[in-house]
Amino acid sequence: DTGVSQDPRHKITKRGQNVTFRCDPISEHNRLYWYRQTLGQGPEFLTYFQNEAQLEKSRLLSDRFSAERPKGSFSTLEIQRTEQGDSAMYLCASSLVTGSNEKLFFGSGTQLSVL
Amino acid sequence: KQEVTQIPAALSVPEGENLVLNCSFTDSAIYNLQWFRQDPGKGLTSLLLIQSSQREQTSGRLNASLDKSSGRSTLYIAASQPGDSATYLCAAYSGYSTLTFGKGTMLLVSP
């Protein structure tokens, strides 16, 4: 499978615990995005990387959230001290930017439930 | 700030009907508009991408149109099938990594 892969598919955790998600983008893609989606809503932008550099972070990304892409390949998203409001689907996407245009390819997401 | 609205929020049709899903956006300065399909609890599958210079794109039974001047896009599904049941999302790409989604239209096609 040469698409975007995310791990785990589902995560159930207790409030206050830390969780980490992983995303493996399509291999030649230089941009990687994290989005969050709650029930009945469209995905909302969290952050993105150009190669290993984190270029933008949304105001949605509180200081409990941290994302890394250490070698410009896979990325991790960590949530510390989880809260019930963090329950959502976390989606990763990657793209290969050509000029000013861009098409994003999404993974299957990680569904987080905070009890 | 770009805002994307999708109408209707939900749609139920019998199998075989042709249908239209609507998407509107407030800022016409977009590079492209993309339609996605999302099955329950799953990620997004890209269906069609229309560049800002294009008027429409077709893939099989799907046809998407774009009218930048009016800030509208439509997704036409011909001869709908139960397997088309899913949520359909449109997203406007405004450059600088900004992809703004609508809330989606939940489609149910009954046999």
- Residue A1, pLDDT > 60, answer no
Mean pLDDT, rounded, for B15-19: 96
What are the residues of chain A with a beta carbon less than 8 Å away from any beta carbon of chain B?
Answer: 4, 6, 31, 33, 40-45, 48, 55-56, 89, 91, 93, 100-109, 111
Two tokens, residue A87: 């329950």
Q: How confident is the model at residue A60 (pLDDT cuts 50, 70, 90)?
A: confident
Mean pLDDT (whole number) for A65-82: 94
What is the per-residue pLDDT across B23-45, written as a single tens digit (0 to 9) for each? 999 988 888 999 999 998 888 99
Q: Cβ contact (<8 Å) for B34 and A103?
A: yes
pLDDT of residue A103: 81
pLDDT in tens, B44-63: 998 999 999 999 999 999 99
Bridge partners of residue B89, in order along the sequence: B36
- Cα–Cα dist B89/B23, whole Å: 9
- Identify the closest residue of chain B to A95 by CA–CA distance: B97
Strand, helix or coil for residue B89:
strand
| A108–B43 CB contact, under 8 Å | yes
**Mean pLDDT value across residues A50-55:** 90
Has residue A90 got a pLDDT over 90? yes
Q: Rounded to whole angstroms, how far apart are CA atoms B26 and B35? A: 17
Confidence of residue A100 (pLDDT cuts 50, 70, 90): low
The minimal CB distance from A106 to the residues B43, B98, B102 is found for B43
Q: Is the peptide bond between B8 and the residue preceding it cis, with omega within 30 degrees of 0?
A: yes
Q: Please, is B29 exposed, middle or buried when counting C-beta atoms within 10 Å of its C-beta (0-12, 13-18, 19+)?
A: exposed
Residue A69 · residue A57 · CB < 8 Å: no
* pLDDT value of position A2: 65
Cα–Cα dist A18/B99, whole Å = 28
The reply to whether B99 touches chain A by the CB within 8 Å rule is yes
SS3 content of chain B, % helix, strand, coil (to 5): 5, 60, 40
Half-sphere exposure of residue B15, counting CA atoms within 13 Å on the CB side? 5
Put simply, the answer to whether B36 touches A106 (Cβ < 8 Å) is yes
Is residue B68 pLDDT above 80, yes or no?
yes
Q: How many CB atoms lie within 10 A of CB B5?
A: 15
B96 Cα distance to chain centroid: 21
The reported pLDDT for the residue numbered A85 is 95
